[in-house]
Chains A and B, each alone.
Chain A
């Protein structure tokens, strides 16, 4: 025990030598409803005591001191402390209020707090859970309806905004988990909560505040959400739980309890880590089915209290240009289950299923506005848009109501450019359009687009087909050109020359009996003359060949005549004779 004493003394001294004072004052919320309590928390760091006013006088607000707590913290062997004074503010009526600066006296010196603003609204537009019962609100300690701590270091509470509801109605809930401020630790981000017969919205982020219950300071973690009952009858809302790892204060070593209990020791001195699951209690909700009497034909499931307004853009549309009719439904209720408003007076319009977007004004999607965008294209020239109507069930009156939006002025020209509407949509009656979230399997019919990112010009099939056509055209051009050339004098001349060359080739290997026949054929082709001897002789005579060649050629013509007309009596040409004739004709192969 002896070695421990100097250490404890040093800690005690350190605790007394605190840092310079720092005062921070703030509101748990800058907005509230009439009657909804708000906390004003003043935190003073570096002081062990302070004089604060018990009440603050602000016209329209009731402000009373609710409690005080002290916290010690040791970090890197440096001790710090903070004092927390909690005031409860209960707004008396609507308005914008300023809580003026007030003085806090510490060791004879007065420090001012900063002024704060609080907006108090009626019950209709509160962004927080709007209708939580008063006994569930964070009330000052000792007030009737405060949660009963029964000395427990931590506990949970499930608060329903109402005890009875209609099927499909959104019921805000709040899960609150209380932890004695002497306990430190971490809590999980979201509570565990589910059940049968209702759907649950996503939970808001935890909001932490301090509350004094029965003279004990608690840190309260609250999570807001909403449930929507889906069937009638008594609904059992099971308990929710929150997992936490806490530093539970332990006991001092045996025999030293009295000594330590008299010292202002920092938190966590004898604490131990413990994983706990903090549970809220279960609740019951009486659920009534929506009445069948008075249900409008176009009722599509909206339950709550709503208003509706619409706008159109552009106000002037050229032929075939779509106009966007934007219908905004705002208020409180089950926006998720809300179908699109029905269009009326839309005979001259081509309409499409709307897109929708929800903008929540609170953390749980209970208050907000849902915008439906209808793309409409005029079938005939139009000066007014279609109207819109939305039927909903109002749980506060227990009756159905219908919101009606009158047509808006627009100047839209009719045009055939718009894509054809799907048959189902075209045939659908105006007052029963598909709900916004309904599947639109026939939407593909509205699009006549392609299934390729490549333009037709770059697709292989198109290129191949065009190349084939181009080749075919080229072939046609070639065929026709060749035919035309062949029929021309030049073509014929060319063909004759070719034949002459072929004849000369045959001449070299011709049999002796037909040698002169081939000679005459060659000469006829070469000189472009008929095959008879007279004509051929005339051509040779009139040609520009040298005289000796002319003589040789005429001799060959004679030899052919002899061989033809004196068959059997004329000897076949000798090898020398053939050589001589071929040598003469060889020079004539190519025309000049």
Chain B
């Protein structure tokens, strides 16, 4: 009796598994990539990202597909997105450096913020900082009310923890790329774009922005953005072909 039930059940499971595999764009994308069909794989990776929560690994794989199809600027955007989701993802960082080199763009700068990002996961820092913060607050409260004249050592320790956790939360706030890169965008336009002195196409050009250039968007007025380059120069640029690093939700 058991055998009679087992066979159809196994068959149904196998069919449903195969159907899932067929329907899963991520699995299909990886299969296409393995077969060297990079353009098709890139489309499927994009479909997968549209239909499921963003993952650094998938953006990295999408970037590799786009590199294969010669779309270096879009690949750079994918690698940047992978790094926003996981700043410690070394292969994505290396791929971004190589892509920027091929695009003739400067390498991403090395600063203390990047050093922190490469070492500490931001969500873990925020979570542990928050837990320690509230723990310290409760400890101080209890010590103040229950032992107003004693346990000074414990009180000092709790205050130290409170200061440390507050520092951790501030660090997470100023380092997390999902906060700091909120206004970052890339130029994805064949022929690049131009940074102009005023929001008019005939105005003086401050800088040429090649395909794949980074710009910080400060405000939008109609079809114009007011933006700032990494070297500090500010000006106007057309919204066309400017893609935010963090996709709008």
Residues of B within 8 A of A377 (CB): 90
Tell me, rounded to whole Å, the shortest Cβ–Cβ distance linking A412 to chain B.
Answer: 12
A76 part of interface (Cβ distance < 8 Å): no
Q: Is B121 close to A, CB under 8 A?
A: yes
Please determine whether A447 and B57 come into contact, CB atoms closer than 8 angstroms: yes
The answer to whether B57 and A444 touch across the interface, beta carbons within 8 angstroms, is yes
Nearest A residue to B84, CB-CB = A453
The answer for the CA separation of A450 and B53 in the assembled complex, in Å, is 9
In the complex, how many angstroms separate the beta carbon of B37 from the nearest chain A beta carbon? 10
Closest to B95 in A: A355
Interface string of A441-472 (1 = CB under 8 A from B): 10110111111111111000010001001000
Specify which of B30, B94, B137 lies most central, judged by the most chain A CB atoms within 10 Å of its CB. B94
List the A side residues contacting B146 at CB < 8 Å: 480
Evaluate contact between A419 and B89: CB separation under 8 angstroms: yes
**Chain A residue with Cβ nearest B169:** A457
B88 at the binding interface (Cβ < 8 Å): yes
Which of A336, A456, A457 is most buried by chain B, counting CB atoms within 10 A of its CB? Answer: A456
Does the CB pair B57–A446 fall under 8 Å?
A: yes
Answer whether residue A383 sits at the interface, using C-beta atoms and an 8 A cutoff. Answer: no
Q: B112 near A: Cβ within 8 Å? A: no
**B82 → chain A closest CB, angstroms:** 7
B-contacting residues, A316-343, CB 8 Å: 320-324, 326, 336
**With a CB–CB cut-off of 8 A, which chain B residues contact A353?**
91
User: Which segment of B123-131, B155-163, B187-195 sits at the interface?
Assistant: B123-131
Contact with A along B32-55 (1 / 0, CB 8 A): 011110000000000000000111
B63 closest partner in A (C-beta): A355
Asked if residues A457 and B172 are in contact (CB atoms below 8 Å), the reply is yes
Interface size class of B (residues with CB under 8 A): 35 or more
Contact with B along A290-328 (1 / 0, CB 8 A): 000000000000000000000001000000111110100
- Which one of B86, B90, B134, B249 contacts A453 once the chains associate, using CB atoms below 8 Å? B249
Q: Cβ of B126: which chain A residues have Cβ within 8 Å of it?
A: 455-457, 462
How far, in Å, is B20 (CB) from chain A's closest CB? 14
Let me know if B173 and A448 touch, CB within 8 A: no
The verdict on B206 contacting chain A, using a C-beta distance below 8 Å, is no
The tally of residues in A whose CB lies under 8 Å from a CB in B reads 48
CB of A75 within 8 Å of the partner chain: no
In this assembly, does B183 line the interface, its C-beta being within 8 Å of a C-beta of chain A? no
Are A324 and B172 in contact, CB atoms less than 8 angstroms apart? Answer: no
Contact A440 B173 (CB under 8 A): no
Residue B179 contacts which of A438, A457, A473 (CB distance < 8 angstroms)?
A: A457
Which residues of B, 123-181, contact A by the 8 Å Cβ criterion?
Answer: 123, 126-127, 130, 134, 137-138, 141-142, 145-146, 172-173, 176, 178-179
Q: In the complex, what residues of A have CB within 8 A of residue B68's CB?
A: 356-358
Within 8 Å of chain A (Cβ to Cβ): is B103?
no
Shortest CB-to-CB span from A481 to chain B, Å, is 8
- Kindly report which residue of chain B lies nearest to residue A451, judged by CB atoms: B53
Interface: B229 (CB within 8 A): no
Bound-state CA distance A300–B181 (Å) is 42
Which residues of chain A have C-beta atoms less than 8 A from B91's C-beta? 322, 352-353, 355, 375, 446
Tell me which residues across on chain A come within 8 A of B90, comparing CB atoms: 320, 322, 352, 375, 377, 418-419
Query: How far, in whole Å, are A440 and B60 apart by their CA atoms in the complex?
Result: 11
Question: What residues on B are CB-neighbors of A480 within 8 Å?
Answer: 141, 145-146
Residues in chain B near residue A566, CB distance under 8 A: none
**Taking A439-B31, A448-B121, A456-B126 as contacts, is the C-beta distance between A469 and B173 under 8 angstroms?**
no
- Report yes or no: A417 in contact with B54, Cβ–Cβ below 8 A: no
The answer for the CA separation of A453 and B146 in the assembled complex, in Å, is 43
CB distance from B208 to the nearest CB of A (A): 25
- B95:A375 contact, CB within 8 angstroms: yes
8 Å CB contacts to A: which residues of B82-114?
A: 82, 84-95, 97-98, 102
Cα distance, A251 to B228, chains bound together (Å)? 72
Smallest CB gap from B127: residue in A: A456
Is B119 a contact partner of A437 (Cβ separation < 8 A)? no
- In chain A between 391 and 450, which residues have their CB closer than 8 angstroms to a CB of chain B? 417-419, 437-441, 443-444, 446-450
Given contacts A453-B247, A453-B249, contact A484 B145 (CB under 8 A): yes
Pick the residue among B34, B55, B58, B85 that contacts A437 (CB under 8 A). Answer: B34
Q: How far is the CA of A238 from the CA of B104 in the complex (A)?
A: 45
A469 to B137, CA, bound (A): 10
- The one of A355, A419, A466 in contact with B64, judged by C-beta atoms closer than 8 angstroms, is A355
Partner of B94 from the list A322, A358, A443, A476 (CB cut-off 8 Å) is A322
Is A373 interfacial (CB 8 A cutoff)? yes
Q: A438's contact among B34, B85, B119, by CB below 8 Å, is which?
A: B34
Question: A477 an interface residue at 8 Å Cβ cutoff?
Answer: yes
Minimum CB–CB distance from A173 to chain B (whole Å) comes to: 20
- Checking B82, B95, B127, B141 against A476 with a beta-carbon cut-off of 8 angstroms, the contacting residue is B141
- A-side contacts of B102, CB under 8 Å: 357
| Closest A residue, CB atoms, query B37 | A437
Q: How far is the CB of B177 from chain A (nearest CB, A)?
A: 9
Are B53 and A452 touching (Cβ within 8 A)?
yes
Q: A357-B68, A453-B249, A484-B145 are in contact. Are A469 and B172 (CB under 8 A)?
A: no
7 tightest Cβ-Cβ pairs between the two chains A and B: A449-B86, A449-B56, A375-B94, A451-B53, A480-B145, A449-B85, A447-B56
**Known interface pairs A419-B88, A452-B53; 18 further A-B residue pairs with C-beta atoms within 8 A, sorted by A's residue number:** A320-B118, A321-B118, A357-B102, A373-B95, A377-B90, A417-B119, A418-B88, A439-B31, A439-B33, A443-B57, A446-B91, A448-B89, A449-B55, A449-B89, A453-B178, A457-B179, A476-B141, A480-B145
A–B pairs, 11, beta carbons within 8 Å: A313-B97, A336-B36, A355-B98, A375-B91, A443-B57, A447-B85, A448-B88, A453-B85, A455-B122, A456-B122, A473-B137
Measured CB to CB, the residues of B under 8 A from A are 30-31, 33-36, 53-58, 60-61, 64, 67-68, 82, 84-95, 97-98, 102, 118-119, 121-123, 126-127, 130, 134, 137-138, 141-142, 145-146, 172-173, 176, 178-179, 246-247, 249
